[in-house]
Structures are given as C-alpha cells and as structure tokens.
Structure 1
C-alpha cells in the first residue's frame, strides 16, 4: 500500500534536516523519515512553525488526490481536525499491506471525506451565525433609532400640549386655513385666473368659532394673536418708535453657496431670521455669518421648509435664545423634529468616530435643544399675516416639498419677498408655488438660484424616463437602488412607483421610511392625504439586503455620504443586472458625484467611507443620473421674477459663477439686480 503520508513527512524532514545539528544525515530525507516517522508526525501536530515551513516545501502532483487531502487535513489550523486525521492515517498505515489494501484505502478516503464534510458543515454554521448576528445588530440599530425618534416626537408633543403659544398658533392656523382648490393640471396653472363665486358661501371655521364666542372674526383673531405674540417691554417699544423702520436684509448664509441658508430681516426694533440651516460637511457647520446675526436680539426665525440646509441650526438658536419664536407652516413644524433628531444622531456618530482617532468635534446641539425648539414652534397657515414686532410676515405655497413656503415680509410701505426653495410644477406629493397679491411689486425679491443655469426637461418626460429605466432593469431580473434625500424626494419616488409601476416591489429604507410615515400622519384628515406605503411599497426590514433580489430600493442618503444606501450600493453595484439611479443634486465632493464620474470614466471600483469604514465597491451595474429636481430651473426662475415684478432682485442659494451669468439674463429681461450683500429699502 502507498504511504499517503510520504510527501508531507518528506517535506517536514527537509525542514528538520536544514538544521546544522542534523548534518550527519546529509540530505537523505527518506532515511530520516524511515528512522523518525512517528517523531515527525508528532512534531507536525505540535509545531505551527514546522507546519508552515513544511507546507511551503510540499509538492504533490495533481494525480495524488489522496495524499493532497491528507496533507490538507494534517496541516489544518484546527487542532481537532489534525489529531483526528492523524489517528485515522496511523491506524490504517500501521497494518501490514495485504490483499485488502484497496478496501482500506477506500475507508481512508471515506473518513477523509467525512472529516471534510464535517468541516464544511461547521463553516456553514459559522457563516450563518455571523449573518444572523449582523441581521440582529441591524434590526437592533433600526429599532433603537425608531424608538429614539418616537421618544423625541412624544416629548415634543407633550411640551407642545403644555405650551399656550403653540396650541394657540395651531388653533389660529386651523381657523384661518383657506379651503383647498380642486386639483388640476399644473401646466395650466394661472395665478391671475378668477375663481367662480359659489351660489352660497358656507361659513368658514373662523366665522363659526367667532359666532360661538359671541364676537367678530377680527376680534377673535386679535385675541388669539395677543396670546401668541409676547408682550414687549415699554423700553423696547420706546426705542423701536424712534428707530428707522425701513426694511434691511442681510444674507448670513447660503448666499453664494448651497447650504446653511440664513437671512436677517430687520426693521425698527425687530430682527427676524428667515431660515437657519446647516452647512453640509464633516462635521456640519452653522450658517457662515450667524454670529453677526446674533450680535443683537433675534425675535423669531421664520422657517421656509424642513430640509436641514434651511432649518437644521434652529435648535441651536432655540438653546441660545429661550424666547425665540419659530414660525412655519403646520406641515413644516411637524416634520422638523424628525430632521433635527436625525442630525443629532449623525453628529453624535461623528463625535464618537472622531474620538477614536483623538480628534475633538462637539455636536452643535442635543436632544434637549430639539425639545426646546419644538416647544417654540408656531404654526402659520398660508395667506395669513402675522405680526412679529415691527414686521408682518405672510407665508405662501412654494412647491418644492410638503409644507414648503415662501415669505412676504412687510414694514410700513416696504416689502421683501423671500422665495425659499421653490418650484412651479405639480408633483405627486405637492403642488407648485402660488404668490399672493401682497408679493407683487415688492421692493426686493430674494430668489433661490440652485438651478439658475439649467434648462430642465418637462417634469412628465423625466418621470417617464425614470419609469422606463426601472421597468427595463426589473424585466432583466435586477434590482434598482435610488439614493434619495430623506425628506421630499424619497416620498415622491414612492408615490411615483405606486402610481406608475404597481407590479414592481419597492422598499423604503432608512430615514426615508421614517419621514414617509410622518408624511402620512401630517396629511391624514387633510384635503390631500398621502399614502406613501401600501400595495407594492413597503418598509425595508433586516435581512432584505440579501433576500430582496428584484425590485426597487429607495434609501438615504441621497449623495451616498452614509446610511443604508451605502450598504445597498455595496450589494447592488457589483452585479451587471442591477442599476443605481442618482435622483438629485450631487455635491462636488460627495461620493455620489465620484460614483457618477467613475462610472462615466469606466472605473472598475469605487471607494466609499461609511462613518469611518472604508468600502471598496466593484462597479459593474448600470449607473446614471435620473434627476427629478424639486427646484425651478432657469425658465421657471425667470417666470417668478416676471410674476413678482420686484423693484430689485437678489440671488441666494446658488453658486456664484452661475448667479453672475443669471444676473445678466435678468438684466436683459428688464430686471434690476443687486449683489448678495446687505440691502436696505430706499
């Protein structure tokens, strides 16, 4: 019978004979094996170094399968496997060769096969256990985040219910809310059209409430406003009376960049901020010149919408200014706490990550600040003026996302209109902008300019292209990942998929799912309730990353800067059947922009940093930009400027070079523009 141990023992003998103390043997490895067979086998069992060196010298022809399998088991890293294999081999090879050698060899092979099967089974169980641990860890993380969010919302609700000013502003917003118009084709939107008069006007909620109180509607509004607006100290009133009452506007952030939006508007003794957003980055930063705005007392911040680049710094302000009034639409006041809670989570993760490397980065605020900011919120319905000291503010629909508003601010005969982020086309989740009469012929129009250099395709054509692309990938048996901004874009995509592709399963993951639930809660009972989930759209669950093999995933973050979208990208991008469609603006330094450039340049992989963990992702899937912008493009912005017909126009929330080119276009259209610097009504 062939000695199946011979190749391995010879390799071990070569290692041992290389030692000077055994020079008498020369290079006669065969003789050394014959004299010390048992010792060599015992040394192999005990010495990791000998196993490593012997394995390096081992040469077994491909035809000697049994010898190769035996050597593999005897050199295994698991001691139990090595010992079991040695016992089997020794038990067989100690017996004298006879006519039953073939049968013994078969038994040896069977035993080796059994050991290999046991090893495969053990490895499989280990892999399943590792996968289960990861699944449970992910489920625990999501459950913790959801619980934290619900705790924040519950705490905020309790504070609001105990706050007289919040409850009064909510009641006043409800009473003053205008009845919604019937939905129509956005392409025929005409802000100047006359509304037909109904045969008989029913009583409005305000009129009914005033009648029940036994007073007139104006008296009821004044009484409620008196409860909302803090009384002003006599010395403040006296100082305000002698101060200049013309409007003054100072950009404090987001003027010639996108992010950190903040505008100071002041008149007499009143100073109001319009927005207070975060500047995206690692870590996020306050508005660039916020300290200049806080050089005097700030009475209120009017928030145009709940995106963090417009509202993310509000809790820090509320912490510094305990009496700060935070005015926004009802939808925005209810969406902001979730966005603030997500910011706190990200800031805390970055703080912990920086701490592991010895760096220091303190969060801008914590959960206590969120509670304080939520308590300070005042709901204000569209089209209803509200006094803030020497200023009057009025909100109007701005399109863009649910609850987004533009602002008309008046002081005496001066008027400033701030568009906020604005769009004129109808989306599945929100309609377009609608300027009130009070906005027309303003002294200054402060207009966003995100897309002032772009000419977008018709909204319907863009949606058609996305639907067709998703259908194509799904028909080929693949998955589509659409990274999306958690607020607005993700819910819009969900509603599009429900409407246009009801046969394709869709998952919402991460913060997108949390905000989707908020959309349904915020709009429930209103004139246009939104159903983000249902039918083919559901919330992602732990395990879906491996089990959801065909369909659409909409997940945060929209620029692939972190979150579950990065994990989905790592799973989806290596497969050529799949696709990743970017749906929104990608910052110059974002992983999303790098992905698009890498795919266009034919790169083989992309490296993404996910909260300190570097991921190298192969690029084999289809990667394209399928942008569904929620901002007005160049033509839309020109229409806005024409419609408001302000005496002067200031551009904010855009890139300086593009703004310079767009100012020239505005000038050629007959508009007077001013630089993005401090402005005063003349």
Structure 2
C-alpha cells in the first residue's frame, strides 16, 4: 500500500511565531514543534488557547530548537495529557528546562497578580492551566540525540537532525516517511542561521528532499555586512557614552545575549569600549550563558580564535567588566548608575521581564540610548518603539520616549534573503517548498524569487492540510 501521510499547518503559517505542524502517518500523530505565538497578552492567550487535537493522542514531538516560539506550548501539552517522547538535540535538551521553567514561572506570577486585581474588583479569578511540574515533565520526556545520527521514533518514520546554525542545539529536521511501496523525504528547516553571525556553525546543506518546510522571516531583505553592523553598534555605544547616559539592550536570553557579550568582549579587547561596566540583567540569560560555556568546544573555530588567544573559554571571562545581576535586588541596584553602563536585559521584544522596569526609570531621559539588536514581532512593545511610538503606558503610567532608539539588524541569527535562496537552490530532487515562519510581505517576495529560480513553492496557510 502507498504511504498514508498528511501534514497540517497549525501554527507558524502566515506569521513568524507559533511554530507547530501536525504530521499524521499510518495512524500515528507527530508534532513538529509546539511553540507559542508571541506578542500578545500571554495570560489571556494561555486561558483561551485550545489545541486543535487531543494532546493525549499525540505519539511524539520532534523539536527543531528551544526558542519559546518553537517549544513554549510543551508544558501545556503535557498538562493536557501528552505522554509521548520529545525528540531533540542534546543542546536543546539542556536549554529547555531553563526556558520552560522561566516561562511557566512568569505565567504563574502574572496570573497571581491578575487574580489579586480581580479579587479586589469582585471579578472572577482563574485557576492556572499549568504548573512548574509540567515544565519539569517536559524535560523527563526528552529523548536527546546528536547531529547527523539516524534514529527511528516510530514504525515507518526515520529522523535525523542536521545543524541549523541558529542557536545552540538548533536543527534542520529530516524525516523519511516509509510505506510498503515508497518513501517520502520531508525536511523542516527550523530557523536557519545567519552564516555571518558568531559562535554558531553555518547551516548544513541538504542534498535532496521531496517536500521542504522553509522559514522565511527575512525573505524580503538581506542583513547588513557584519563588519558594518559591528561598526554601527560601536558607534551607537560611543554616542551613548558622549550623551552622558546609559545603554539599554533588550536581548533575547537565548542566542542574542551570548552574541552581544561576545561582540562587547571583542570591542573591550580592541580598546574600543568606552563604557566601564556591562550588566547582564537576566537570570535566564545567565543560566543559558553557562550552558553555552559548556559547549564552547562545538562553536565555530574562527569565531572563538580571539577567546582562545586570551586563554579563556567562557563568555564572562572574555568580558572582564561584566556583572551578572541575578536577583531582583541586583537589578534594582543598576538604577544607581546614571551613566557609563550597558544594561542587557530581557525580554527581547519588551513584552515583560526586567527591561520594562528599566524603561519605566529611563526611557523618558534623552541622555539614554536604546539599542534593538533583534527582530521585533508585530504587536510587541519593542515593535512599537522601533516604529517610533513616542508615548507608551507601563505599569499604569504614561511614559514619554525621549531616549534615542537605534535599530541594528545585522546581528540577526536568521538567514537573510540571499542565504535562504542559496540554501533552497542547493537542495536536489526538485522538492515542493512551503514557506513558513514569515510575515506575508516577506513570504511573497521570497516566493517570487524562488519561482524565478525554478522552484515549486507555495506559502503555507494556517489550517491547511497537504497530502504527503
């Protein structure tokens, strides 16, 4: 009999975040990623969210990498009855406990605050939809493996992870779907890395495929040349120093924070960093940096040459002026520094975390500078600031935006348009491409260029089911 398989685009279709695809194969159900949609009121989203399947019916999850928009729904999936295996790389398995426990902790903390507010107003309170133990159970279900090793999660299904070069542990997912009269090779790119960025290796090239789900976040543009980006970053830091204020960098705890620490270390050793102190104000980023340090041996050898020359093998030692702010008291103490400091704090899209507290105290001062070094999704506070909004509301207060806002896009850990086109063009076998993880404009531009290259390419639609 032929292969009995189909794929449904549940999330990450027509939008950048919320990665989730349901693969049905010979009566089995497998999720590719299980990610959150970011940029919304998370409490409201958690409580109105309904899976489009029964979690207990899912036989396995295959995870491309640990970013919350690819993994963040796993605690809820477990809380609702999922008991299967979660297949991922070893790097992802080490990162997941840090990210998921933090995500659930923040949810429970915000819910407690909202319930107190509702109680005072005589309104209905809500029970939590998940607990910390659900995040812990996710880790217990993980089946970690290495790159380039073929495994068999289910009968008729073979899996191999290849290095996506995006963050630690990120993977291109290769699946071979087998029936009695044939086989189909399905490739999910996950998030493809930017070859120009540091620490990670270049994305692996796939020799052939039948069907490819390909990310398209930067399908409509290329990144700046890395040297120009670093120079722009350095110039922004110099300008902030001359202004007599501080620098605030909303950074994603996973990936971007570690890269920024590396670049600051390079500037420090080159004698180009005028600021005298750098704060990493994120317990999660601190924990993730420790995981990165354990994997120092796997980083791009060219990128780590300067670190080896300085006889260090961890990012904190590479930047001697770095101070780690773990506690809330440590974070509040940063307010004593009125000038000459760089503060890296989460969250990267400014939807919560310590960065918004720093905004409350500093965004209205024109001596301060705000540097965005990562993608800001539609609907986030970060996107509003990048788009030039001059007044925002934080903690019930109106805040004027007088700090200078810099947007530096070349640090992106995603492949740019040219890299996406090159990666796709090198895949043999004339595959059918489906573009995922992108805003409509970016996807339309990329689709047109890929078609000009002779590729068969469609834009995935949410809820769409395709036969395999």
Q: TM-score, normalised by structure 2?
A: 0.84
Q: Which runs of 5 or more residues in structure 2 are unaligned?
A: 305-312
Task: Verify the 8 A CA contact 1:319 1:373 in the aligned structure 2.
Answer: no
- 2:309 aligns to what? none
Q: Render the CA deviation track for 1:212-232: whole Å, top value 9, x for unaligned.
A: xxxxxxxxxxxxxxxxxxxxx
Report the CA distance between 1:322 and its aligned residue: 5.1
Does residue 315 of structure 1 match 2:75?
A: yes
Report the CA distance between 1:563 and its aligned residue: 1.7
Task: Verify the 8 A CA contact 2:247 2:371 in the aligned structure 1.
Answer: yes
* Structure-2 change in CA distance of 1:384 and 1:548 (3 Å): farther
Report the CA distance between 1:642 and its aligned residue: 0.4
Task: Verify the 8 A CA contact 2:56 2:81 in the aligned structure 1.
Answer: no
- 1:621 aligns to what? 403
- 1:346 aligns to what? 106
Indicate the SS of the match to 2:227: helix
- Of residues 311, 324, 337 in structure 2, which corresponds to 1:547? 337
Indicate the SS of the match to 1:581: strand
- Of residues 484, 488, 491 in structure 1, which corresponds to 2:251? 484
Q: Render the CA deviation track for 1:472-516: whole Å, top value 9, x for unaligned.
A: 322443311111112111121111101123443211102454334
* Structure-2 change in CA distance of 1:484 and 1:512 (3 Å): farther
- 2:310 aligns to what? none
Does residue 608 of structure 1 match 2:393?
A: yes
Task: Verify the 8 A CA contact 1:415 1:442 in the aligned structure 2.
Answer: yes
- 1:533 aligns to what? 316
* Structure-2 change in CA distance of 1:289 and 1:672 (3 Å): farther
Q: Render the CA deviation track for 1:436-494: whole Å, top value 9, x for unaligned.
A: xxx42211110011111122212232122112211232244331111111211112111
- Of residues 34, 42, 53 in structure 2, which corresponds to 1:283? 42
Hey, which of these two has a bigger chunk of helix by percent? 1
Task: Verify the 8 A CA contact 2:443 2:459 in the aligned structure 1.
Answer: no
Hey, which of these two has a bigger chunk of strand by percent? 2
- 2:222 aligns to what? 455
- 1:422 aligns to what? 192
CA RMSD of aligned residues (A): 2.6
Find the aligned partners of 2:66 and 2:467 in 1 and give their Cα distance. Answer: 28
Indicate the SS of the match to 2:421: helix
- 1:467 aligns to what? 234
Task: Verify the 8 A CA contact 2:197 2:412 in the aligned structure 1.
Answer: no
Find the aligned partners of 1:522 and 1:321 in 2 and give their Cα distance. Answer: 33
Q: Render the CA deviation track for 1:244-293: whole Å, top value 9, x for unaligned.
A: 53542221111111222111223224322110011222126479997344
State the structure with bigger RCO (CA 8 A, min sep 6), 1 or 2.
2
Task: Verify the 8 A CA contact 2:447 2:459 in the aligned structure 1.
Answer: no
Report the CA distance between 1:374 and its aligned residue: 0.8
Report the CA distance between 1:386 and its aligned residue: 0.7
Does residue 397 of structure 1 match 2:163?
A: yes
Give the number of aligned pairs: 428
Q: Render the CA deviation track for 1:78-106: whole Å, top value 9, x for unaligned.
A: xxxxxxxxxxxxxxxxxxxxxxxxxxxxx
Indicate the SS of the match to 1:365: coil
Does residue 679 of structure 1 match 2:466?
A: yes
- 1:14 aligns to what? none
- 1:659 aligns to what? 443
Find the aligned partners of 1:583 and 1:567 in 2 and give their Cα distance. Answer: 19
- 1:630 aligns to what? 413
Does residue 303 of structure 1 match 2:97?
A: no
Q: Which runs of 5 or more residues in structure 1 are unaligned?
A: 1-241
* Structure-2 change in CA distance of 1:481 and 1:490 (3 Å): same
Find the aligned partners of 1:288 and 1:250 in 2 and give their Cα distance. Answer: 21
- Of residues 361, 382, 387 in structure 2, which corresponds to 1:571? 361
Task: Verify the 8 A CA contact 2:149 2:160 in the aligned structure 1.
Answer: yes
Report the CA distance between 1:665 and its aligned residue: 2.1
* Structure-2 change in CA distance of 1:539 and 1:296 (3 Å): closer
* Structure-2 change in CA distance of 1:363 and 1:464 (3 Å): farther
Radius of gyration: which is bigger?
1
* Structure-2 change in CA distance of 1:365 and 1:296 (3 Å): closer
Task: Verify the 8 A CA contact 1:266 1:272 in the aligned structure 2.
Answer: yes
Task: Verify the 8 A CA contact 1:253 1:288 in the aligned structure 2.
Answer: no
Task: Verify the 8 A CA contact 1:334 1:522 in the aligned structure 2.
Answer: no
Written as runs of structure 1 = structure 2, the 5 A alignment for 1:355-434 is: 355=115, 356-357=117-118, 358-389=123-154, 390-412=156-178, 413-434=183-204
Indicate the SS of the match to 1:533: helix
Find the aligned partners of 2:280 and 2:397 in 1 and give their Cα distance. Answer: 22
Q: Render the CA deviation track for 1:635-671: whole Å, top value 9, x for unaligned.
A: 1211111012442000111123432332222212100
